[in-house]
A = this chain, B = another copy of it.
Amino acid sequence: MKIKYTLLKSDCNTKARLGKIETNYGCFTTPMFMPVGTRATVKSLTVEQVKDCGSGIILANTYHLWLRPGEEIIEKAGGLHKFMNWNGPILTDSGGFQVFSLAKNKEKDICEEGVYFKSHIDGKKLFLTPEKSIQIQNKLDSDIAMSFDECPPASATHDYLKKSVERTLRWAKRGLKVHNNENQALFGIVQGGAYEDLRKYSAVETVKLNFDGYSIGGVANDGESKEDMYKAIEYSVPYLPSDKVRYLMGVGEPIDIIEGVIRGVDIFDCVLPTRIARHGQAFTRHGKINLHNAKYKEDFSPLELDCDCYCCQNYSKAYIRHLVNTDEMLGGTLLSIHNIRFLIKLTEDLREAIKNDNILEYREKFIREYNKTDK
């Protein structure tokens, strides 16, 4: 089967919704944060460690896996689940975001057929098309594949974005035509920057194509304001069907997850929790903290007293500080576990708040505490 989304409850005061997604690799409730396993590994963690954080689904990157080890090898291994030993649901992106963001302007050439660009590994010239992206994802055998879209920069004009939205729609149709994996759902992507007319147009036209779910793209670009991100969601969601999943791509700041959920989003992904972990930082209810800070030298308390993650249950800030200070890999591992658990616990709390119709109070309390950031 493809995935099945069930709307369990809508919040009384906002667009937030509690849902359930069933896949061939298990079921999870939404809102849900998806840890990113770029190259078929959530950086520095075993699959059990990822699972123990409460992860219902993970994301893997088509672009990176296409280049290394190649989709053919993963297909021969029996698909991505088997290759990486993750027996839960997997979503793969289309590769579009990486092609547009990793390649510098001069090194890519966008045409109707697809995108020519240089590999970030060896500079080899490559060509990715909507069909190719879907074919790779079919072979990776993820549970959810994404349509190949154009990802314009935050600075794009209304004119450029209008043409880009049209192209993304044509690319979406081409992808749908070649999609050929009966166990894989395919999601369409709404673009249009922070323009109400374009978001509406993109949403309405994409929904006409009848995808298995919809994502809101173009919101995690460098230089985009939070205001524009929230607008992009607000302008898109009203036109998305209530019986399909809604996915906000690339978003992982705690407050943005809350704002996204309140505006009707179900799933999120971001490299943030693992990336900041490798730089010695941890999410806490009182903001991000930096474990390199000398003030933690003799702090034998956990990152957060009431956190149920493996890191907080077993290690002190003083120990983690020692690890990050000496570049020991375990530091990044422990902080990754905590940070992923933090975001997933946040979505658990949001689910509870939706059940209790008090998500607005939850947001207010969360923001008040979070902004007391420990300097």
| A208 CB → nearest B CB, Å | 39
- Interface contact B323-A41, CB-CB below 8 Å: yes
| A336 CB → nearest B CB, Å | 10
Interface residue? A110 (CB, 8 A): no
- Interface contact B44-A333, CB-CB below 8 Å: yes
Number of copies: 2
Closest B residue by C-beta to A334:
B46
Within 1-45 of A, Cβ neighbours of B (below 8 Å) are at 39-41, 43-45
Given contacts A43-B329, A46-B333, A323-B41, contact A318 B83 (CB under 8 A): yes
- Interface contact A328-B83, CB-CB below 8 Å: no
What residues of chain B lie closer than 8 Å to A78, measured between beta carbons?
300
- Interface contact B329-A332, CB-CB below 8 Å: yes
| A5 CB → nearest B CB, Å | 31
- Interface contact B39-A297, CB-CB below 8 Å: no
- Interface contact B314-A85, CB-CB below 8 Å: yes
Could you give, for residues 75-105 of chain A, a 1 whenever the CB lies within 8 Å of some chain B CB and a 0 otherwise?
0111000011100000000000000000000
- Interface contact A68-B330, CB-CB below 8 Å: no
Closest B residue by C-beta to A316:
B77
| A104 CB → nearest B CB, Å | 21
Interface residue? A298 (CB, 8 A): yes
Interface residue? A66 (CB, 8 A): no
- Interface contact A319-B77, CB-CB below 8 Å: yes
Interface residue? A326 (CB, 8 A): yes
Docked pose: A321 CA to B64 CA in angstroms: 15
For A46, A77, A310, the residue with the greatest tally of chain B CB atoms inside 10 Å of its CB is A46
Interface residue? A325 (CB, 8 A): yes
Could you give, for residues 45-85 of chain A, a 1 whenever the CB lies within 8 Å of some chain B CB and a 0 otherwise?
11100000000000000001000110001001110000111
Within 136-154 of A, Cβ neighbours of B (below 8 Å) are at none
| A39 CB → nearest B CB, Å | 5
| A346 CB → nearest B CB, Å | 24
Interface residue? A322 (CB, 8 A): yes
Q: 8 pairs across A/B with beta carbons < 8 Å?
A: A39-B328, A40-B319, A69-B325, A73-B318, A76-B300, A84-B319, A329-B333, A333-B333
- Interface positions of A (Cβ within 8 A of B): 39-41, 43-47, 64, 68-69, 73, 76-78, 83-85, 297-298, 300, 310, 314-316, 318-319, 321-323, 325-326, 328-330, 332-333
Contacts A39-B326, A43-B330, A69-B325 aside, 15 further interface pairs with beta carbons under 8 A come to A39-B322, A40-B322, A43-B328, A44-B44, A44-B330, A45-B330, A64-B326, A68-B322, A69-B321, A69-B322, A77-B300, A85-B314, A329-B329, A329-B333, A333-B333
